């Protein structure tokens, strides 16, 4: 902070490195101060940021590493989102559940990336941290973390429910499920986001990122988050249990026990209950093979959400009751008073009172890997191929092939274009045929041959193209003369209800074959 000297008047009667709370106002997040009443000294508070006195110095390096991982995850999420928008569906296998999950993961990553670039001031004064009212960076960072965490939990539940309907009940979610998912998914996330940001709030608790405050957080944020994650976990466990049941039934059932139709083939109906165990197993195996990416995403994200929710609830409980028992915290306080400058030696005692460094680092890394996990499980090799084809098509030079024979006709001021316009010019009023230079028959022939060489259109009507047709030796589709058995007298128009008359002749044998050969 601005004043870190051991002889600061702001310390009052408190020993270094503590400060007397009576010397400070009520700006910033006052509830975030680490203060404890000490007899004959008053309320003595730890300097801000308190993590510098609770954890070793390398804790900040781990926090920076977590922010860098979130930046990498955000870049990957942007790549996935642009791929879904710009590339064809067959190359991305895009789905609206993937869209929503990517957007939620981007929200969570932005909560870490914003302070990574802004480097905000964590403290309002020597003992008070900033909150969303005293720091704009804190407000945006905490808002994105709340929105991202709640949205990820909601869309993981919807994704688990969708897979459960497909695997266990053989129901393909349609447009009705899409509208309900969009409406309820974003509405639930918005409701709990609004309640958390207005009632509970966010502040700098450890590191550069603002987290949810401890007061009212269990009812506004952590409770609903755990409830949604718990529901998704139950749905996912039910899906796994059904898959195991189907697999075991297929092992105990022989193929001969399947219902046979009159043709000797397996007879399946649209009802899951009337199918044989082997048929159900084949269907479930196919669906699981197609949905393995979604199943893995649900498992990974659920582990992350449940883990950091439990740890944060534990941290809130410890922080709230940290000053209730001074006898338990006395070894740590005495160590700080004895080592006001080299306070890192007291970190083991602080970790015994609060959450240890390894657990906090694990939370940060797991949150940071959420975006990378989604990217690894949703990305496909065809996306990179599609981008390569798209860039090559947009930036590559388009050149038309022109025969080398065209150079000898490229003489003068574009005489071929003028030759096509000249007959039209002579018909307008005020023009004279003398103004147009005549074209000789030889030049007309040259122009026509050049046109055919460029366009590739043969001239079927020229004299050179008119040749006598020679029937190949092995051709069997040429017209043949009518045989003795087929005569006009044998055809009776009344037998086919056709009108007889002049100009009609019966079809010759193999006439259809001849027409087909000429068509090909």
The model's pLDDT over 441-491, given as tens digits with 9 standing for 90+, comes to 555 566 566 555 545 555 544 444 455 556 666 555 555 555 444 444 455
- Same domain assignment for residues 355 and 437: no
Task: Decide if 474 is inside a domain.
Answer: no
Instruction: Give the pTM.
Output: 0.71
Residue 26 lies in a domain: no
CB neighbours of 66 closer than 8 A, spacing ≥ 6?
A: 112, 361, 364, 365, 367, 368
- The residue among 322, 317, 320 whose CA lies nearest residue 333 is 322
Q: What is the mean pLDDT of residues 165-185?
A: 93
* C-alpha distances in Å from residue 77, one per residue of 41, 73, 105, 107, 112: 53, 6, 8, 10, 14
Q: Does one domain contain both 60 and 174?
A: yes
Q: Looking at the 3D structure of the chain, how many domains does it have? A: 2
Does an H or E element contain 329, and which? helix 326-338
CB 173 within 8 A of CB 165: yes
Q: Contact 30/133 with Cβ under 8 angstroms?
A: no
Q: Which residue did the predictor score with more confidence, 427 or 329?
A: 329
Q: Which of 394, 416, 449 is the last residue of a domain?
A: 394
| Whether 387 and 414 share a structural domain | no
Both 419 and 368 in one domain: the answer is no
Asked if 444 and 298 sit in the same domain, the reply is no
Q: What is the pLDDT of residue 84?
A: 95
Residue 40 within any structural domain of the chain: no
Specify the CATH number for the domain of residue 121: 1.20.1070.10
Q: Is residue 31 part of a domain?
A: no
Q: Which has the minimum average pLDDT: 78-82, 205-209, 497-501?
A: 497-501
Helices of type H across 379-485: 381-395, 415-425, 441-455
Residues 354 and 57: beta-carbon distance below 8 Å: no
pLDDT at position 208 is 87
pLDDT, tens digit, 9 for 90 and up, residues 126-152: 999 999 999 999 999 999 999 999 999
Considering the domain boundaries, does residue 467 fall inside one?
no
Report the C-alpha gap between 326 and 353 in whole angstroms. 11
Percent of the chain past pLDDT 70, that is, above it, reads: 70
DSSP state of 506: P
434 and 368 share one domain: no
**405, 369: one domain:** no
CA distance 263 to 509: 42
- pLDDT category of residue 42 using cuts at 50, 70 and 90: confident
Domain that holds residue 130: 51-261+268-394
Say yes or no: 371 and 405 in one domain.
no
Q: Based on the domain organization, do 340 and 361 belong to the same domain?
A: yes
pLDDT given for residue 439 in this prediction? 52
């Amino acid at each position: 902070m601005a004043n870190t000297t051991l002889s600061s008047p702001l310390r009052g009667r408190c020993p270094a490195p503590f400060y007397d709370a009576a010397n400070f106002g009520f700006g910033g997040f006052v509830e975030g101060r680490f203060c404890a009443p000490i007899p004959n000294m008053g309320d003595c508070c730890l300097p801000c940021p308190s993590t510098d006195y609770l954890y070793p110095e390398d804790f900040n390096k781990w926090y920076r590493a977590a922010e860098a991982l979130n930046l990498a995850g955000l870049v990957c999420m942007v790549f996935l989102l642009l791929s879904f928008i710009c590339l064809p569906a067959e190359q991305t296998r895009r789905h609206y559940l993937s869209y929503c999950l990517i957007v939620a993961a981007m929200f969570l990553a932005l909560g870490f990336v914003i302070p990574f670039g802004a480097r905000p001031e964590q403290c309002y004064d020597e003992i008070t941290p900033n909150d969303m009212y005293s720091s704009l960076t804190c407000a945006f960072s905490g808002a994105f973390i709340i929105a991202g965490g709640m949205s990820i939990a909601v869309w993981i539940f919807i994704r688990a429910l969708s897979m459960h309907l497909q695997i266990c009940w053989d129901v393909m979610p349609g447009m009705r499920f899409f509208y309900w998912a969009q409406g309820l998914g974003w509405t639930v996330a918005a409701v709990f986001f609004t309640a958390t940001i207005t009632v509970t709030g966010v502040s700098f608790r450890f590191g550069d990122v603002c987290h949810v405050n401890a007061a009212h957080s269990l009812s506004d944020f952590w409770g609903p988050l755990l409830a949604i994650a718990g529901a998704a976990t139950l749905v996912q466990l039910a899906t796994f249990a059904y898959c195991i049941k189907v697999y075991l039934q297929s092992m105990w059932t022989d193929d001969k026990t399947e219902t046979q139709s009159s043709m000797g083939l397996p007879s399946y109906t649209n009802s899951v209950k009337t199918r044989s165990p082997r048929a159900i197993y084949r269907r479930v195996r196919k669906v699981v093979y197609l949905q393995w990416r979604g199943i893995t995403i649900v498992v990974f994200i659920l582990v992350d959400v449940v883990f950091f929710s439990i740890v944060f609830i534990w941290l809130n409980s410890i922080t709230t009751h940290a000053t209730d028992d001074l006898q338990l915290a006395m070894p740590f306080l005495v160590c700080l008073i004895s080592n006001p400058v080299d306070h890192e030696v007291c970190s083991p005692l602080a970790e015994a009172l609060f959450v240890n460094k390894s657990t906090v680092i694990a939370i940060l890394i797991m949150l940071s890997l959420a975006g990378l996990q989604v990217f690894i499980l949703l990305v496909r090799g065809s996306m990179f191929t599609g981008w390569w084809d798209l860039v090559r098509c947009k930036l590559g030079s388009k050149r038309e092939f022109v025969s080398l024979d065209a150079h000898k006709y490229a003489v003068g001021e574009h005489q071929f274009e003028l030759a096509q316009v000249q007959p039209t010019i002579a018909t307008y009023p005020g023009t004279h045929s003398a103004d147009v230079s005549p074209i000789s028959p030889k030049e007309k022939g040259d122009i026509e041959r050049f046109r055919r060489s460029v366009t590739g259109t043969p001239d079927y009507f020229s004299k050179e193209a008119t040749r006598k047709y020679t029937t190949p030796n092995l051709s069997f589709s040429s017209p043949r003369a009518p045989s003795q058995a087929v005569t006009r007298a044998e055809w009776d128009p009344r037998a086919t209800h056709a009108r007889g008359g002049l100009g009609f002749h019966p079809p010759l044998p193999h006439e259809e074959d001849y027409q087909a050969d000429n068509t090909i």
